[in-house]
């Protein structure tokens, strides 16, 4: 990380700590914001958060590693999560996944070469009645077919 980037990150975290408060219960809120903006939480950011909340860096890392939606290494710009729970599985998740993998050119658990997409599975998105389902970042798509899934991803910037 460049010094300028570090300074910017520190300022950003200071602002978040200011907004949410210096107590431990702000930790996940802060992590959520950093994750949303940077698509990952770099180790420098973790240490700055730890410093400002007066906890240990390893505690921040421990929390991040617990939650599926937080990660410490950069993934793609858009995170595609296909629901792998039983109903979606029964309604043709596999065919959808195969189509997506072919279209994006990488496997699930991987990031595409152009860093545009990161593919992963999610555990139950709560859309079982309109399955199969997937989420692209915060937005959800339902009643997927292989064609529909590909079409949706093609519209993502």
Partner 1 sequence: MEDKNQRAPVSQKAHKVTIPDHPEHIGGSVTIEINEKRITVPMGTTILEACREAGIHIPTLCHHDDLCVAGVCRICVVEVEGMRTLQAACAFPITAPIKVKTSSQTVRKARRHILDLMLSEHYGECYSCVRNKNCELQNLAQEYGVDGFTFGHVTKSKYPVDESSFSVHRDNDKCILCKRCVRTCIDLQEVGVLESIGRGDNTHISTFMDKDLADVICINCGQCINRCPTGALYTNDPSDEIWAAIEDPDKHVVIQTAPSPRAAIGEEFGLEAGHSMTGELNTALRRIGFNKVFDTNFSADLTIIEEGTELILRLYQALVEKKEVALPQFTSCSPGWVKYLEHFYPEYISNLSSAKSPQQMFGALIKTHYAEKAGIDPKDIVSVAVMPCSAKKFECNRPEMVDSGYKDVDYGLTTRELAKMIREAGIHLPEMPKSHFDNPFGDASGAGLIFGATGGVMEAAIRTVVEFVTGNKTEDIFENANVLPVRGFEGIKYVEFPIGDKVGPVPELIKHLVPDWNWLKGATLKVAVAHGTANAKKIMEDIKAGGKFSECHFIEFMACPGGCLGGGGQPIPTNEEIRMKRAQAIYAEDESLEIRKSHDNPYIIKLYNEFLTDGPCSHLSHKLLHTHYTKRGKYIA
Partner 2 sequence: MENKKSERSGKVLFTKYTRGESINKAVSMKRDDILLEIKESKLRGRGGAGFPTSTKWMLTAAARSEDKYVVCNADEGEPGTFKDRVLLLEYPELVFDGMVIAGYVIGAKEGIVYLRGEYEYMLFPLLDYIQGMRDDNLLGKNICGKEGFDFEISIRLGNGAYVCGEETALIESLEGHRGEARNRPPFPVTTGFMGKPTVVNNVETLACVAKIVEKGGEWFKQHGTDKSTGSKLFSISGDCKKPGVYELPWGTTINELLKIVEAENTKAVQVGGASGVCLNKTQFDRQLAYEDAATGGSIIIFNENRNMLHVLKNFMEFFVEESCGQCTPCRIGNTKLLEGVRMIESGNFTFAYINQLKELGKTMQVASKCGLGQSSPNPFISILDNFKDEILNKGNGGTNGR
Contacts to partner 2 from residues 88-127, by CB under 8 A: 89-90, 122-127
* Contacting range for partner 1; rule: CB under 8 A; set: 60-68, 78-86, 90-98, 128-136: 60-68
Smallest distance from the beta carbon of 48 to partner 1, in angstroms?
Answer: 10
Contact criterion met (CB below 8 Å) for 125 and 112 = no
**From partner 1, partner 2, none, interface partner of 27 (C-beta below 5 to 8 A by class):** partner 2
E strand map for 84-149: 117-122, 134-136, 139-141
When binding is defined by CB under 8 A, the residue of 58, 67, 107, 113 that contacts partner 2 is 67
User: What strands lie across the sheet with 117-122, from one edge to the other?
Assistant: 117-122, 78-83, 134-136, 139-141
Task: Give dist(CA 55, CA 139) in Å, integer.
Answer: 33
43 binds, among partner 2, partner 1, none (CB under 5 to 8 A by kind): partner 1
Name the residue nearer to partner 2 (CB basis): 24 or 115. 24
Strand-strand pairing, 78-83 and 134-136: antiparallel
- Identify the three-state secondary structure at position 125: coil
66 lies in the binding site for partner 1 (CB under 8 A): yes
In whole angstroms, give the CA distance from residue 114 to residue 22: 38
Site string for partner 1, 36-55 (x = CB under 8 A): -------x--xx---x---x
Does 66 contact partner 2 by CB under 8 A?
A: yes
Distance from C-alpha of 86 to C-alpha of 20, rounded to nearest angstrom: 38
**How far is 93 from 85, CA to CA, in rounded Å?**
9
Contact set with partner 2 (CB under 8 A): 23-29, 31-32, 62-63, 66-70, 84-87, 89-90, 122-131, 135, 138-140, 142
Contact set with partner 1 (CB under 8 A): 43, 46-47, 51, 55-59, 61-62, 65-66, 72
């Amino acid at each position: 990380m460049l010094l300028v980037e570090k300074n910017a990150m520190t300022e950003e975290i200071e602002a978040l700590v200011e907004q949410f408060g210096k107590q431990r219960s702000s930790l996940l809120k802060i992590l959520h914001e950093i994750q949303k903006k940077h698509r990952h939480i770099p180790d420098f950011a973790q240490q700055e958060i730890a410093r400002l909340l007066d906890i240990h860096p390893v505690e921040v890392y421990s929390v991040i590693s617990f939650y599926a939606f937080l990660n410490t290494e950069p993934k793609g710009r858009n995170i595609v999560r296909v629901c792998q729970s039983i109903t979606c599985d029964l309604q043709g998740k596999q065919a959808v996944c195969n189509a997506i993998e072919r279209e994006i050119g990488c496997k699930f658990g991987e990031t595409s070469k152009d860093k545009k997409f990161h593919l992963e599975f999610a555990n139950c998105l709560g859309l079982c009645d309109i399955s199969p389902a997937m989420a692209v970042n915060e937005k959800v798509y339902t009643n997927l077919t292989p064609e529909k899934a590909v079409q949706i991803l093609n519209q993502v910037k």
